[in-house]
Amino acid sequence: MIDFKVEHIQEVSSTNTYLKDLTKQAGVFEGTVILADFQTSGKGRGTSKWISDRAENLTFSILVEPGIKASHHFSLVEFVSLALIDTLKNYGINSRIKWPNDIYIADRKIAGILIENVLVENVIFSSVIGIGFNVNQEIFPTELPNPVSLKLLLHRSTKLDEIFKTILDRLSYRYEQLKAGEFDLLHKGYGNNIYYSNKKIRYYQNERLREGILRGFSESGEILIENDKGDIISFLFGEIQIL
């Protein structure tokens, strides 16, 4: 189990950036959590941003030291994604993972994940895991196309410390599976909870709109799409944009 040490701060540019800077100091150990009421420059994957109202949602980052081979890097995405799926099931909500790192309910996004790794030779020495989870926010900026929150789904507010504890518990449980080398179990769980699995999807590749059937994922996180000729093609994140 992870021994979490939570530092709760009111405002920060980005919890991931703050925690990464913190790791350069001595005495920062696995399980350190930075929980912020508000991020002025919340980060998503790539150039994306995470936008959240002050003290309405959960925005936090966790330091872990997985010590796994770099070839298993996608297992980190899988264990965190499944922990969030587990959390929502605790509230009676079925959710799905939109590749590679967003949590959706129907066609609306409730949570996002950003993982930044430090490698030593061929081993992932440490990882800063950033999570944004919409809890009590009801009105979102128009530039966010499809957000949803727990409050909009349950029609009631949820105490932030309550769901935060649940998320940490589920993260700890799934992390133990990762540390035990249960990569196949995590990969299967991720695949079983994927958004649009074995269904037709539309995506942009090289600025061209294409269609195919989502057939799964490789162990390294490449998406597998069957094209109109019946060929299975793999893509890394950033090579295509799924609509």
Express each pLDDT in 187-227 by its tens digit. 999 999 998 888 999 999 888 999 999 999 998 999 999 99
Give the architecture (CATH level 2) of 200-242: Roll (2.30)
Residue found under tokens 């530092």: 7
Express each pLDDT in 83-98 by its tens digit. 999 999 999 999 999 9
Is the previous residue joined to 100 through a cis bond, with omega within 30 degrees of 0? yes
Task: Give residue 194's identity as a one-letter amino acid code.
Answer: I
Residue 216: Cβ-neighbour burial (10 angstroms; 0-12, 13-18, 19+): middle
Residue 185 in tokens? 């179990």
pLDDT at 55: 78
pTM of the model: 0.92
Q: Which of 52-56, 152-156, 219-223 has the lowest mean pLDDT?
A: 52-56
CATH 3.30.930.10: does it fit domain 5-192?
yes
